[in-house]
Amino acid sequence: LAAHLASDLKTSEAEAQYIECLGEYPAHPLVMQYATTFYRDHNRPDDAIALWRRAVNDVPENFGLRSSLATLLVQQDRAAEAETVLQESVEVFDTAGAWQTLSAFYKNLGNTSAARKALEMAIDRAPGHSESLQFALADLLITEGELERASEIAESIKEPAYRNMLRGGIRLQQNNPKGALEIFE
């Protein structure tokens, strides 16, 4: 019993310290990350989520806070809430990075169609149409079976590694592993 009470006392002291630090630095990512770890370790994920929601409300112009909140929500099997946070992010920021983050979220859920649409929005907002974004788009198109469009993108990419990865992926999708291997080599 004494050990349990001592443990509870230490937990209370630790939480008080986190609350004090968060009071002084309410949106500092390192402080928030330590507090999040504390709450998760003590089986209190809702407190961690509330912490990040407050930070987003306090500093709505900080995309990193929103992204971290969405990540935490996904880790807690709350994908619908994470999607809402990321949808709000693209509405507020409307940047290539915000759309790319939403695309990655959908891709991780296995929703390649939504991932592709979000990535297309990112490309529209990216200056110079980055080859890495073009590669990611073509990769999603291959997954969706849109091989002709993926091939057109692959041929427009100057970076040989990207171009060859896409060409090989297209051949794999066409059930030609030998041809894909030739390209990959």
Q: Quick check: helix, strand or coil at residue 76?
A: coil
State pTM to two decimals.
0.86
Distance CA 118, CA 104 (A): 9
Residue 4 above 60 pLDDT? no
Which one is predicted more confidently, 28 or 46? Answer: 46
What digits encode the pLDDT tens for the residues 110-124?
Answer: 999 999 999 999 999
- Which pLDDT score, from 0 to 100, does residue 80 have? 98
Distance CA 14, CA 78 (A): 27
Question: CA 76, CA 7: separation in Å to the nearest integer?
Answer: 26
Distance CA 15, CA 35 (A): 8
Q: How far apart are CA 129 and CA 137, in angstroms?
A: 11
